[in-house]
Amino acid sequence: MVSKNQIKLINSLQQKKYRNEHQLFIAEGVKVIQELLQSNIVLEHLFATSEIFSSFDVKAKTEVSTQEMKKISALTTPSSCLALFKIPSQNSIEKSGLIVALDDIRDPGNLGTIVRLCDWFGVTQIVCSKETVDLYNPKVVQATMGSIARVKVNYLDLNKFISESSLPVFGTFMDGKNIYKEALPNEGIIVFGNEANGISSEIGKNIKKRIAIPQFGEIQETESLNVATATAIVLSEFRRKN
Amino acid sequence: MVSKNQIKLINSLQQKKYRNEHQLFIAEGVKVIQELLQSNIVLEHLFATSEIFSSFDVKAKTEVSTQEMKKISALTTPSSCLALFKIPSQNSIEKSGLIVALDDIRDPGNLGTIVRLCDWFGVTQIVCSKETVDLYNPKVVQATMGSIARVKVNYLDLNKFISESSLPVFGTFMDGKNIYKEALPNEGIIVFGNEANGISSEIGKNIKKRIAIPQFGEIQETESLNVATATAIVLSEFRRKN
């Protein structure tokens, strides 16, 4: 049984303002919740339907009906479980290795996919401009498929971070050098830009290594690649060379 | 001014059944519509708000108010234009070059992104199992960002197509060979599988070249990559080697 106050709290957590106020975020679905339970992130409360309730070995849990799940889920087709986790305190930032920097990524699905890609390619640190979509947006959490538990994501003054770093700084530009032919180190910052506007000119000035993914289509009219697919190709290219 | 009958028709085209009945599909947004107008695909009718109405040099157009646009758009934030295009007749299938084969892709965003990737990497033919999401689903059209006008997509008996082809057949599997170390030809069929279940066992039997994208994270718990990001990496790898 889920109380009216619980429903109100959970629905409010769709908004960043209330996530910050309560320091809680929502995760939906078996896979994501199981990954989070195995991580250092602390469970606040779990809600699950009877079919799956007993499979969770946690104390703070409540069995709910499918009808109740519909009231707390933001998904069109609600999952069998939903959990609230405590937002972890901001970690210290790693300043070595391969770092992915996000300049104003707005789409939750893109951020989630990029977190998942970083996890796959062993990139443990993402730094985001303050305008980038919130990591704890439920759609981001969903799209990470549990990788959110293993990749550190910090929000900061991105231009300051980049200009103060001693690492080589890479960014993708239409007129950049062919990534397939460039030597790529196993340490550096790789910047990806906003969906509509790309990398901001302010940050662009601090990017010395301008790279591009070559286009192979006969008609060169294709819109630039989606930022998540560009991230996939760039990370693959960095890792295959090391 | 948009009539009640037009509103009813446009809304019905969200469903495949009515798209097939009327042989029409919806495109929303300036970029997608402009790309389609430049292609061989035939415009049925365009609806646009005053700000952008005069910029379209077509006869079959109607100026609509922002309120009217809300009634015909399926987007949360409607664009300034929406157009109906005639569904082109199924093209003959190219049987040479690099062909992407989709085995039961269900997510419209994934199919749209894959069409866009094929356009970028010069893959002009996609073949889909009959269970794959409809190309003319408005969310697919949207995600292709206009690439739908340049890539041929056919729906067919995928297993029959693959088993009858003389091209080498590739597919991604967790236990496949490291794609970075494999010789990759510039002709072949590359199969990508369903989001939840991967490539079906029936089709898997016909795949002689089993490849894998290596995982670099220390903890090897990451869910397999999203199918659209896997497609990005695989196509990049095929093209960089040729």
- How do the domains of chain B map onto residue ranges? 4-86, 98-240
Mean pLDDT score, A109-133: 96
Backbone angles phi, psi at B84, to 5 degrees: -105, 130
Which residues in chain A have Cβ-Cβ distances shorter than 8 Å to B30?
Answer: none
Architecture of the structural domain at B4-86 = 2-Layer Sandwich (3.30)
Residue B221 has pLDDT above 90, yes or no: no
DSSP string for A156-177: E-HHHHHHH--S-EEEEEEEEE
This complex has an ipTM of 0.91
Kindly determine whether residue B221 and residue A113, on different chains, have CB atoms separated by under 8 Å: no
- Tokens of residue A123, six digits: 């990139």
Question: What is d(CA B69, CA B79) in angstroms, rounded to the nearest whole number?
Answer: 8
Q: What percent of chain A has pLDDT over 70?
A: 98
Which residues in chain B have Cβ-Cβ distances shorter than 8 Å to A215?
Answer: 120-122
Residues 6+ apart with CB under 8 A from B77: none
Strand order in the sheet with B125-129: B152-156, B125-129, B98-103, B188-193, B169-178, B209-212
The 10s digit of each residue's pLDDT in B6-16 is 999 999 999 99
Identify the band that residue B102 occupies on the pLDDT scale cut at 50, 70 and 90. very high
Which residues in chain B have Cβ-Cβ distances shorter than 8 Å to A116?
Answer: 222-223, 225-226, 229
Mean pLDDT score, B175-190: 96
User: Nearest by CB to B236, which of A146, A150, A236?
Assistant: A236
List the one residue out of A157, A159, A155 whose CA is nearest residue A206: A159
Architecture of the structural domain at A98-240 = 3-Layer(aba) Sandwich (3.40)
Rounded (5°) CA angle B13-B19-B23: 130
pLDDT number for residue A219: 63
**Interface residue of A115, A186, A225 to substitute, partner B, most B CBs within 10 Å:** A225
Residue B64 has pLDDT above 90, yes or no: yes
